Protein backbone atom coordinates (compact mmCIF):
# COMPACT_ATOMS: atom_id res chain seq x y z
CA UNK A 1 0.00 0.00 0.00
CA UNK A 2 1.27 3.47 -0.85
CA UNK A 3 1.48 6.19 1.73
CA UNK A 4 -1.51 8.49 1.22
CA UNK A 5 -0.94 12.23 1.47
CA UNK A 6 -3.49 13.67 3.85
CA UNK A 7 -4.90 17.10 3.21
CA UNK A 8 -6.86 17.04 6.45
CA UNK A 9 -6.96 14.90 9.55
CA UNK A 10 -9.53 15.29 12.26
CA UNK A 11 -9.02 13.24 15.40
CA UNK A 12 -11.57 12.78 18.14
CA UNK A 13 -13.02 16.24 17.75
CA UNK A 14 -15.55 17.40 20.34
CA UNK A 15 -17.44 20.62 20.44
CA UNK A 16 -20.24 21.84 22.64
CA UNK A 17 -22.18 25.05 22.95
CA UNK A 18 -22.80 25.48 26.67
CA UNK A 19 -24.48 22.17 27.65
CA UNK A 20 -25.31 21.27 24.07
CA UNK A 21 -22.80 18.66 22.98
CA UNK A 22 -22.82 19.07 19.21
CA UNK A 23 -19.76 17.09 18.05
CA UNK A 24 -18.88 14.04 20.12
CA UNK A 25 -15.65 12.52 18.95
CA UNK A 26 -15.39 13.02 15.21
CA UNK A 27 -12.47 11.43 13.38
CA UNK A 28 -12.06 12.00 9.69
CA UNK A 29 -9.14 11.79 7.29
CA UNK A 30 -9.33 13.44 3.91
CA UNK A 31 -6.73 12.53 1.31
CA UNK A 32 -5.41 15.06 -1.16
CA UNK A 33 -7.73 15.30 -4.18
CA UNK A 34 -10.44 13.47 -2.27
CA UNK A 35 -14.06 14.67 -2.18
CA UNK A 36 -15.88 13.83 1.05
CA UNK A 37 -19.58 14.51 1.42
CA UNK A 38 -21.16 15.00 4.84
CA UNK A 39 -24.80 14.04 4.99
CA UNK A 40 -27.12 13.98 7.95
CA UNK A 41 -30.23 15.54 9.38
CA UNK A 42 -30.46 19.22 10.08
CA UNK A 43 -28.78 19.91 13.41
CA UNK A 44 -26.52 16.86 13.25
CA UNK A 45 -23.44 19.10 13.37
CA UNK A 46 -22.29 19.38 9.74
CA UNK A 47 -21.87 23.15 9.78
CA UNK A 48 -20.23 23.08 13.19
CA UNK A 49 -17.69 20.52 11.98
CA UNK A 50 -16.79 22.67 8.96
CA UNK A 51 -16.55 25.80 11.10
CA UNK A 52 -14.27 24.00 13.56
CA UNK A 53 -11.99 22.85 10.74
CA UNK A 54 -11.72 26.46 9.59
CA UNK A 55 -11.06 27.58 13.18
CA UNK A 56 -14.13 29.78 13.12
CA UNK A 57 -15.23 27.89 16.25
CA UNK A 58 -12.86 26.91 19.08
CA UNK A 59 -12.96 23.18 19.79
CA UNK A 60 -13.34 21.58 23.22
CA UNK A 61 -11.24 18.51 22.56
CA UNK A 62 -9.53 16.67 19.75
CA UNK A 63 -6.96 17.68 17.17
CA UNK A 64 -6.96 18.79 13.56
CA UNK A 65 -4.08 18.67 11.06
CA UNK A 66 -3.95 20.57 7.82
CA UNK A 67 -1.35 18.83 5.69
CA UNK A 68 1.19 17.87 8.31
CA UNK A 69 0.67 20.91 10.53
CA UNK A 70 -1.49 20.63 13.59
CA UNK A 71 -3.80 23.62 13.50
CA UNK A 72 -5.42 23.06 16.88
CA UNK A 73 -2.17 23.54 18.77
CA UNK A 74 -1.80 26.54 21.02
CA UNK A 75 -0.26 29.61 19.44
CA UNK A 76 -1.14 28.73 15.86
CA UNK A 77 -1.57 31.68 13.50
CA UNK A 78 -5.25 31.25 12.74
CA UNK A 79 -5.24 33.79 9.93
CA UNK A 80 -2.50 31.85 8.14
CA UNK A 81 -4.50 28.64 8.51
CA UNK A 82 -7.66 30.21 7.14
CA UNK A 83 -5.75 31.50 4.15
CA UNK A 84 -5.07 27.87 3.27
CA UNK A 85 -8.68 26.70 3.65
CA UNK A 86 -11.57 28.01 1.58
CA UNK A 87 -15.09 27.94 2.99
CA UNK A 88 -18.34 28.74 1.23
CA UNK A 89 -21.48 29.38 3.22
CA UNK A 90 -25.11 28.59 2.64
CA UNK A 91 -26.01 32.29 2.62
CA UNK A 92 -23.12 33.30 0.29
CA UNK A 93 -21.98 36.08 2.66
CA UNK A 94 -20.64 38.22 -0.14
CA UNK A 95 -19.65 41.74 0.87
CA UNK A 96 -22.56 43.89 -0.35
CA UNK A 97 -20.58 47.14 -0.47
CA UNK A 98 -17.95 45.78 -2.84
CA UNK A 99 -18.09 44.88 -6.50
CA UNK A 100 -17.75 41.25 -7.49
CA UNK A 101 -14.12 41.84 -8.45
CA UNK A 102 -13.30 43.51 -5.14
CA UNK A 103 -15.05 40.71 -3.24
CA UNK A 104 -12.71 38.27 -4.93
CA UNK A 105 -9.50 40.29 -4.67
CA UNK A 106 -9.91 41.38 -1.04
CA UNK A 107 -8.42 38.20 0.41
CA UNK A 108 -5.54 37.84 -2.07
CA UNK A 109 -4.60 41.50 -1.68
CA UNK A 110 -5.00 42.02 2.05
CA UNK A 111 -4.27 38.56 3.41
CA UNK A 112 -1.83 37.18 0.84
CA UNK A 113 -0.29 40.54 0.00
CA UNK A 114 -0.71 40.28 -3.76
CA UNK A 115 -0.43 43.49 -5.73
CA UNK A 116 -3.59 44.92 -7.16
CA UNK A 117 -2.74 43.93 -10.70
CA UNK A 118 -1.79 40.38 -9.70
CA UNK A 119 -5.00 39.97 -7.70
CA UNK A 120 -7.15 41.48 -10.45
CA UNK A 121 -5.58 39.24 -13.04
CA UNK A 122 -6.15 36.14 -10.94
CA UNK A 123 -9.77 37.15 -10.22
CA UNK A 124 -10.54 37.94 -13.86
CA UNK A 125 -9.08 34.62 -14.92
CA UNK A 126 -11.33 32.76 -12.51
CA UNK A 127 -14.41 34.79 -13.44
CA UNK A 128 -13.73 34.07 -17.08
CA UNK A 129 -13.31 30.37 -16.42
CA UNK A 130 -16.67 30.18 -14.66
CA UNK A 131 -18.61 32.37 -17.07
CA UNK A 132 -18.91 35.36 -14.76
CA UNK A 133 -16.76 37.84 -16.63
CA UNK A 134 -19.44 40.44 -17.28
CA UNK A 135 -20.37 40.52 -13.62
CA UNK A 136 -17.00 41.67 -12.34
CA UNK A 137 -18.03 45.31 -11.84
CA UNK A 138 -21.50 44.61 -10.47
CA UNK A 139 -22.50 44.71 -6.84
CA UNK A 140 -23.60 41.36 -5.42
CA UNK A 141 -27.26 42.26 -5.02
CA UNK A 142 -27.58 42.77 -8.77
CA UNK A 143 -26.78 39.08 -9.26
CA UNK A 144 -29.04 36.05 -9.10
CA UNK A 145 -28.60 33.69 -6.15
CA UNK A 146 -26.82 31.18 -8.34
CA UNK A 147 -24.43 33.81 -9.63
CA UNK A 148 -23.79 35.07 -6.10
CA UNK A 149 -22.95 31.60 -4.87
CA UNK A 150 -20.64 31.02 -7.82
CA UNK A 151 -18.90 34.30 -7.02
CA UNK A 152 -18.57 33.15 -3.40
CA UNK A 153 -16.91 29.94 -4.60
CA UNK A 154 -14.61 31.94 -6.88
CA UNK A 155 -13.77 34.17 -3.92
CA UNK A 156 -12.65 31.09 -2.00
CA UNK A 157 -10.73 29.74 -5.01
CA UNK A 158 -8.87 33.02 -5.49
CA UNK A 159 -6.98 32.28 -2.27
CA UNK A 160 -5.59 29.18 -3.98
CA UNK A 161 -6.57 27.00 -1.01
CA UNK A 162 -5.36 23.48 -0.25
CA UNK A 163 -8.83 22.50 0.80
CA UNK A 164 -12.34 23.82 0.23
CA UNK A 165 -15.23 23.40 2.65
CA UNK A 166 -18.73 23.80 1.21
CA UNK A 167 -21.61 24.19 3.65
CA UNK A 168 -24.94 23.43 1.97
CA UNK A 169 -24.11 25.90 -0.74
CA UNK A 170 -27.30 25.22 -2.71
CA UNK A 171 -29.80 25.27 0.17
CA UNK A 172 -30.66 28.95 -0.20
CA UNK A 173 -31.14 28.73 -3.96
CA UNK A 174 -34.25 28.45 -6.10
CA UNK A 175 -34.38 25.00 -7.69
CA UNK A 176 -33.60 26.24 -11.19
CA UNK A 177 -30.39 27.87 -9.98
CA UNK A 178 -28.97 24.84 -8.19
CA UNK A 179 -27.54 23.12 -11.27
CA UNK A 180 -25.16 25.94 -12.22
CA UNK A 181 -23.59 25.83 -8.77
CA UNK A 182 -23.37 22.04 -8.65
CA UNK A 183 -21.78 22.00 -12.09
CA UNK A 184 -19.11 24.37 -10.90
CA UNK A 185 -18.36 22.12 -7.93
CA UNK A 186 -18.20 19.11 -10.27
CA UNK A 187 -15.63 20.91 -12.34
CA UNK A 188 -13.55 21.62 -9.24
CA UNK A 189 -13.72 17.96 -8.27
CA UNK A 190 -12.69 17.02 -11.78
CA UNK A 191 -9.62 19.20 -11.44
CA UNK A 192 -8.62 17.43 -8.27
CA UNK A 193 -9.64 20.00 -5.66
CA UNK A 194 -9.78 18.51 -2.18
CA UNK A 195 -13.23 19.19 -0.78
CA UNK A 196 -15.43 18.51 2.21
CA UNK A 197 -19.02 19.12 1.22
CA UNK A 198 -22.00 19.26 3.57
CA UNK A 199 -25.05 18.75 1.41
CA UNK A 200 -28.68 17.71 1.23
CA UNK A 201 -28.40 16.97 -2.48
CA UNK A 202 -28.14 13.20 -2.25
CA UNK A 203 -27.88 12.41 -5.94
CA UNK A 204 -25.14 15.01 -6.22
CA UNK A 205 -23.31 13.47 -3.26
CA UNK A 206 -23.62 10.05 -4.79
CA UNK A 207 -22.30 11.35 -8.05
CA UNK A 208 -19.38 13.41 -6.85
CA UNK A 209 -18.18 11.93 -3.56
CA UNK A 210 -15.27 9.57 -3.15
CA UNK A 211 -16.57 8.95 0.32
CA UNK A 212 -19.78 9.77 2.15
CA UNK A 213 -19.98 10.33 5.91
CA UNK A 214 -23.31 10.12 7.65
CA UNK A 215 -23.37 12.40 10.65
CA UNK A 216 -25.81 11.60 13.40
CA UNK A 217 -26.05 13.43 16.70
CA UNK A 218 -22.47 14.57 16.59
CA UNK A 219 -20.80 11.33 15.56
CA UNK A 220 -20.00 9.82 12.16
CA UNK A 221 -22.37 6.89 12.35
CA UNK A 222 -21.32 5.44 9.04
CA UNK A 223 -18.79 6.25 6.33
CA UNK A 224 -17.93 4.61 3.05
CA UNK A 225 -18.06 4.86 -0.72
CA UNK A 226 -21.31 6.41 -1.97
CA UNK A 227 -22.56 3.21 -3.56
CA UNK A 228 -22.33 1.40 -0.29
CA UNK A 229 -23.91 4.17 1.80
CA UNK A 230 -26.75 4.86 -0.59
CA UNK A 231 -27.60 1.31 -1.67
CA UNK A 232 -26.64 -0.83 1.28
CA UNK A 233 -26.36 1.28 4.43
CA UNK A 234 -25.48 -0.90 7.38
CA UNK A 235 -26.37 1.40 10.25
CA UNK A 236 -30.10 1.46 11.10
CA UNK A 237 -30.02 5.26 11.54
CA UNK A 238 -28.50 5.70 8.09
CA UNK A 239 -31.25 3.50 6.70
CA UNK A 240 -33.92 5.53 8.41
CA UNK A 241 -32.37 8.85 7.30
CA UNK A 242 -32.21 7.72 3.68
CA UNK A 243 -35.77 6.40 3.80
CA UNK A 244 -36.94 9.81 4.99
CA UNK A 245 -34.98 11.50 2.21
CA UNK A 246 -36.50 9.20 -0.41
CA UNK A 247 -39.96 9.72 1.05
CA UNK A 248 -39.42 13.48 0.78
CA UNK A 249 -38.61 13.00 -2.90
CA UNK A 250 -35.10 14.38 -2.55
CA UNK A 251 -33.33 11.47 -4.20
Partner 1 sequence: MGDTKRSAGRGSRLLGNRAVLVSTTSTILFFIAVAVVVALAPGSDIVGERFLNWVHLKQSLLGTATAPSVAEAFLLNVRMFMIAEAIILVLALVIALVRGVPGPVFFPFRAVAVVYTDIFRGVPLILVLYMIGFGVPGLGLGYVSTRSDITYGIIALVLVYSAYVAEVYRAGIDSVHQSQTAAARSLGLSRWQSMRFVVLPQAVRRVIPPLLNDFIGLQKDTALVSVLGSIEAARAAQIYGAEQFNYSAYVVAALLFVLVTIPLARFTDHLIARDRRRREAGGAAPGALGTAAGAPHDVPGAIG
Ligand X SMILES: Nc1ncnc2c1ncn2[C@@H]1O[C@H](COP(=O)(O)OP(=O)(O)O)[C@@H](O)[C@H]1O
Name the residues that contact ligand X, by CB under 6 A. Answer: 17, 20, 22, 40, 42-48
Report helix, strand or coil for 80: helix
Comparison of 142 and 244: residue with beta carbon closer to Mg ion: 244
Comparison of 112 and 251: residue with beta carbon closer to partner 1: 112
Spell 97-110 as b/e; 16+ CB within 10 A means b: eebbbbbbbbbbbe
Which of the listed partners (Mg ion, partner 1, ligand X, none) does 137 bind, with a CB threshold of 5 to 8 Å by partner kind?
Answer: partner 1
Tell me which of 36, 37, 45, 47 binds Mg ion, using CB under 5 A. 47
Which of the listed partners (partner 1, Mg ion, ligand X, none) does 138 bind, with a CB threshold of 5 to 8 Å by partner kind?
Answer: partner 1
Which of the listed partners (ligand X, partner 1, Mg ion, none) does 93 bind, with a CB threshold of 5 to 8 Å by partner kind?
Answer: partner 1
Distance of CA 162 to the CA centre of its chain: 12
Spell 25-43 as b/e; 16+ CB within 10 A means b: ebebebbeebbbbbbbbee
In the complex, minimum distance from the CB of residue 214 to partner 1, in angstroms, rounded to a whole number = 26
Which of the listed partners (ligand X, Mg ion, partner 1, none) does 148 bind, with a CB threshold of 5 to 8 Å by partner kind?
Answer: partner 1
In the complex, minimum distance from the CB of residue 222 to partner 1, in angstroms, rounded to a whole number = 29
Q: Which residues bind partner 1 (CB under 8 A)?
A: 54, 56, 79-87, 89-97, 99, 106-107, 110-112, 135, 137-145, 147-148, 155-156, 159, 172-174
Contacts of residue 73, defined as CB under 8 A and 6 or more positions apart, other chains included, come to 63
Three-state helix/strand/coil letters over 60-72: CEEEEEECCEECC
Angle at 206 between CA 41 and CA 40, to 5 degrees: 10
Part in contact with Mg ion (CB under 5 A); list of ranges 42-50, 124-132, 137-145, 152-160: 42-50
**What whole-number distance in Å separates Cα of residue 110 and Cα of residue 115?**
9
Question: What number of other Cβ atoms are within 10 A of residue 228's Cβ?
Answer: 14
In the complex, minimum distance from the CB of residue 162 to partner 1, in angstroms, rounded to a whole number = 12
**What whole-number distance in Å separates Cα of residue 181 and Cα of residue 217?**
28
Comparison of 142 and 244: residue with beta carbon closer to partner 1: 142
Part in contact with Mg ion (CB under 5 A); list of ranges 40-48, 132-140, 199-207, 212-220: 40-48
| Contact residues: Mg ion, CB under 5 A | 47
Amino acid sequence: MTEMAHALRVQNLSKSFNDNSVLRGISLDVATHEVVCLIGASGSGKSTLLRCINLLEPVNAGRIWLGDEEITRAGIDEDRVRQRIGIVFQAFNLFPHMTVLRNITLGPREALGLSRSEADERARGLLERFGLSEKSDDYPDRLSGGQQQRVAIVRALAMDPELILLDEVTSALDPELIAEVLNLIRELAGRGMTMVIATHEMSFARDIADRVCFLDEGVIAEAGPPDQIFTAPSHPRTQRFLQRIIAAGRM
